[in-house]
Amino acid sequence: MPVVASPADPRHHVADPRARLRQAGLRVTAPRQAVLGVLGDHPHSTADAVASAVRGRLGSVSTQAVYDVLAACVDAGLVRRIEPAGSAARYETRTGDNHHHVVCRACGATADIDCVVGERPCLAPSDAGGFVVDEAEIVFWGTCPACRDAGAGTPHIDADGTSSIPSR
C-alpha cells in the first residue's frame, strides 16, 4: 500500500489505516485500508470517485463493495458523510470535530471550514424543541479561487439552463 505523500489537508491524513480500523473494532481488509487511504488523499470524494481510486490501487473491487466499506466506516465513526444540496454524498476522514464546508457553486469544489465560533457551539441551539442534537451541518456557498479566476464570480447556471448546485 503506497504511503500517502501529501494529503490535500493534513487533518484528513489517516496515519495508520490498520490501527484506525482495529481501534474501531473493524476487521482490517485491503479494501478498507484503500478506502481510508484514498479519502486521506482526496477528502470530500464521492463514492464513485473513491471506487475508481480504490480500483486504481487494488485492481478489481466492485463499486458495491466500496459502498459497503464506506457505510461500515461511517457507522464506526472513521468516516464522515456530508451531503451538500444538489451534490452526491461526499466522504472524508476528518471526523468528530463538527467542522463545516464551503462549496463552490460553479464547480462543486469543497473545502473545510473550522467551526466558526470555537468548540461545537452550533450543538447548543437556543431552543432544540426537546430534540437531542448530536450534529450541526453548515454549508457555505460561494465561488472557489479557480472559478473566480475563470470569471465565474456570479452564481453559475450551466449552458443547458440547469444549475447542478442550487443557488440560495
Separation between Cα atoms, residue 21 and residue 16, nearest integer Å: 9
Contact status: 41 vs Zn ion (CB under 5 A): no
C-beta of 17 vs 61, nearer to Zn ion? 17
Q: How far is CA 16 from the centre of its chain?
A: 19
Cβ(98)–Cβ(123) under 8 Å? Answer: yes
Q: How far is the CB of 105 from Zn ion (least distance, A)?
A: 8
From 32, 84, 92, 93, residue interacting with Zn ion (rule: CB under 5 A): 92
Separation between Cα atoms, residue 15 and residue 101, nearest integer Å: 23
Contact status: 144 vs Zn ion (CB under 5 A): yes
Separation between Cα atoms, residue 55 and residue 167, nearest integer Å: 35
Contact status: 107 vs Zn ion (CB under 5 A): yes
Separation between Cα atoms, residue 85 and residue 164, nearest integer Å: 9
Count CB neighbours of 155 within 10 A: 15
Contact status: 106 vs Zn ion (CB under 5 A): yes
C-beta of 133 vs 146, nearer to Zn ion? 146
From 14, 53, 69, 104, residue interacting with Zn ion (rule: CB under 5 A): 104
C-beta of 127 vs 134, nearer to Zn ion? 134
Give contact residues for Zn ion (rule: CB under 5 A): 92, 104, 106-107, 109, 112, 144, 147
